[in-house]
Amino acid sequence: MKIIEKEFNAITGEETITERDETAAEKKAREKSQAKFAQLQAEAEAKATARQAIADRLGLTADELQVLLG
């Protein structure tokens, strides 16, 4: 993956843009972050599904459930 770095010198007003390949450490950190995000997203979807299943069993609408949980 390419990384674009932008550097701005406030004194001269000069802007420097550099494009480079990511390092192995940056790649590892990015992949770890993406995996964590996917895990959190899956957990949130599972919680939402579980809440909806409980609401359905109790005969509550989404709005009523929001009022109770809000």
Any residues with CB less than 8 A from the CB of 55 and at least 6 apart, and which? 61, 62, 64, 65
Identify the pLDDT of residue 51.
86
The one-digit pLDDT tens for each residue of the chain (70 residues) are: 999 999 999 999 999 999 999 999 999 999 999 999 999 999 999 999 998 898 899 998 888 888 988 7
How many distinct structural domains can be found in the chain? 1
First to last CA, the chain: 42
Residues 16 and 23: beta-carbon distance below 8 Å? no
Identify the pLDDT of residue 20.
96
Any residues with CB less than 8 A from the CB of 48 and at least 6 apart, and which? none
Please give the Cα distance from 52 to 30 (Å, whole number): 33
Domain that holds residue 39: 2-69
Identify the pLDDT of residue 35.
98
